[in-house]
Amino acid sequence: MAVLLCGGAGYIGSHVNKRLYREGYQTVTFDNLVYGHREAVKWGDFIQGDLKDQNAIEQVFQKYDIEAVIHLAAYAYVGESVAEPEKYYCNNVANTLNLLHVMRKYGCRKIIFSSTCATYGEPERVPIVEDMPQHPVNPYGASKLMIERIFRDYEKAYGMQYVVFRYFNAAGADPEGEIGEDHDPETHLIPLLLDAASGKRKEAKIFGTDYKTKDGSCVRDYIHVYDLGTAHLLGLRYLENGGKSDFFNLGNEKGVSVWEAVNSVKRVTGRDFKVVSAERREGDPAELVAGSEKAKQKLGWKPLYGEIDTIVEHAWKWHERKRG
Ligand code: UDP
């Protein structure tokens, strides 16, 4: 039996792949390589394909006995989703329906899905727990919430078993340095700060310094990508043991402001760099911090690398290696 990783050549997917493979799972990565990297798939089998192509998905199910699917394939640029919602609804929602259709056809009923804290929109309070209202403020978050909704209906009608993970801010890199974050374009805070530290960018920008937070900058919950990998492993075992379909936040339950992230990068890298205040970025909630008690209780999840300095240290090691 194999586990199919859709989007397994991406940042989070490649770390999940390594974690599963090391635990003895046979993994098959299916990725269109639009944003993923072939060289990030260092474990298991790889098939290049797109979820818009139902035949391509079927071929994978014909070739392998797929026990479960981990579905991480999506477009994930918030700003782009506002400008081009059709692209997001087609790729993230419609193409997921293709996958679910083929899964049904081949009797595969277990799925782990990458959702996001962006499904909560601007939360009424933090920490955010799973049963709080979900009112996404951009098409990216809305597309993920639609799929969550689809799962509820597919469970009732077709017996689909799911684990939905709502990631907070994925960060860091493989502690062994084999894989890491490699987005193009890069929009995420920590890699951009590392670019400023290494001199690749001339300065770092703080998007908004007048939020009602501890120091005026946005607060986020950064979660190590290795710990996300562990959660997927536990989620898979949970489904294998007949666990009930459920939704889980994955975060460290700790708020880190943009300024604190800047200071952490300066501390860890030992480099100083220019930091400038900039306008708020549209659609950024002031504070997003996870309540992750449910994943701890029900899955036995225990994040290993909760300190922002450790997350930055691993990301920096990868960043330096990538630059050669
Ligand atoms: N941010 C920033 N400067 C940057 C990039 C991001 O101040 O150059 C802020 C952004 O406004 C947000 C936080 O850093 O509050 C994390 O942003 P990121 O894009 O990494 O993740 P998001 O929270 O959007 O998923």
Question: Tens digits of per-residue pLDDT, 178-225?
Answer: 999 999 999 999 999 999 999 999 999 999 999 999 999 999 999 999
User: CB 245: neighbour CB atoms within 10 A?
Assistant: 18
Q: Is residue 323 over pLDDT 80? A: no
CATH assignment of the domain containing 259: 3.90.25.10
282 pLDDT tier (thresholds 50, 70, 90): confident
Same domain? 196 vs 242: no
Distance in Å, CA 43 to ligand 1 centroid: 31
Pocket test for ligand 1, best of 137, 188, 265 (most atoms within 8 A of CB): 188
Q: What is the mean pLDDT of the chain?
A: 97
User: Mind listing the pLDDT tens digit for each residue in 105-156?
Assistant: 999 999 999 999 999 999 999 999 999 999 999 999 999 999 999 999 999 9
Same domain? 93 vs 217: no
Distance (Å, whole) CA 95 – CA 100: 9
Same domain? 65 vs 210: no
Same domain? 192 vs 126: no
For residue 91, the model assigns a pLDDT of 98
In DSSP notation, 8-46 reads TTSHHHHHHHHHHHHTT-EEEEEE--SSS-GGG--SSEE
Q: Is 258 in the pocket of ligand 1 (CB under 6 A)?
A: yes
Same domain? 163 vs 186: no
User: Mind listing the pLDDT tens digit for each residue in 67-102?
Assistant: 999 999 999 999 999 999 999 999 999 999 999 999
- The alpha helices in 241-272, defined as continuous H runs, are 258-269
Distance (Å, whole) CA 299 – CA 248: 9
Same domain? 59 vs 193: no
Atom 1 of ligand 1, nearest CA residue: 189
> 């659609």: which residue's tokens?
283
Q: Is residue 271 over pLDDT 90? A: yes
> What would the mean pLDDT of 254-268 be, rounded to a whole number?
98
- Enumerate the active-site residues: 140
Distance (Å, whole) CA 161 – CA 253: 27
In the structure encoding, which two tokens stand for residue 186, read together?
């890069």
**Domain boundaries, position 176:** 172-221+253-323
**How many domains, the chain?**
2
CB 14 within 8 A of CB 7: no
Say which residues have a Cβ less than 8 Å from residue 107's Cβ, sequence separation at least 6: none
Same domain? 98 vs 147: yes
When computed from its CA atoms, the radius of gyration of the chain, rounded to whole angstroms, is: 19
> 């604190």: which residue's tokens?
260
In the structure encoding, which two tokens stand for residue 9, read together?
């050549």
For residue 283, the model assigns a pLDDT of 84
3-state secondary structure of 117: helix
Same domain? 105 vs 232: yes
Q: Is 62 in the pocket of ligand 1 (CB under 6 A)?
A: no
Same domain? 242 vs 258: no
